[in-house]
Amino acid sequence: MKNIRPTTTKDLGELERIYDCARKFMKANGNPNQWRDDKPNLDEVVSDISRGVNYVVVESGKVVGTFSAVPGIDPTYVEINGKWLNDEPYVTIHKIASDGTSNGILSCAVSFCASIAKNIRIDTHEDNKVMRHLLEKSGFQYCGVIKLANGELRLAYQKILSE
């Protein structure tokens, strides 16, 4: 059974371990450029923790995954080369990662986000075929391309949850 709890700064070592596992997995699966060796930036993670939007997924007492669930308008999602499914309030999933020891981290994040909003948005790198497959399998619909603050492009997805 997996549980989700807010991340604390005491979890930073575990998050570094999880992000390292995720980077290695992405590189081994044809996606060497999405996070490189410096992503996610720990200063951003600490900021997410202080804002109360970063969470860990715990299974059998071990942190096995993490994600940020950020409600409200994401500045990088304002302009899209494509079209969002709707303009209703949404929560954005960012920095989602697993250490590879447990499946279902995305499902946990989606279930958690359902308590915040009925719309979930997420983006990923074009080369992240594993995440793209998981998103489509989980009912997310491809909406178009967004541009990050650093100018990099990402594929954007949205899922509308039923009432």
Domain with residue 64: its CATH number is: 3.40.630.30
Q: What's the confidence (pLDDT) of residue 104? A: 93
Give the number of domains in the chain.
Answer: 1
Phi, psi (degrees; rounded to nearest 5) at 12? -60, -40
- Cα of 163 vs its chain's centroid, Å: 23
- Summarize the chain as % helix, strand, coil (round to 5): 30, 30, 35
Full-model pTM? 0.92
Q: Are 18 and 65 in contact (CB under 8 A)?
A: yes
What pLDDT is recorded for position 163?
59
State the number of CA atoms in the 13 A half-sphere of 30 facing the CB. Answer: 7
Whole-number pLDDT of residue 26: 83
The residue ranges of the chain whose pLDDT is under 70 are 36-37, 163
Vertex 36: Cα angle to 33 and 41 (nearest 5) = 130
- CB 50, CB 7: distance < 8 Å: no
- Cis check for the bond before 32: say yes or no (omega within 30 of 0): no
* Containing structural domain, residue 23: 2-160
| pLDDT of 37 | 66
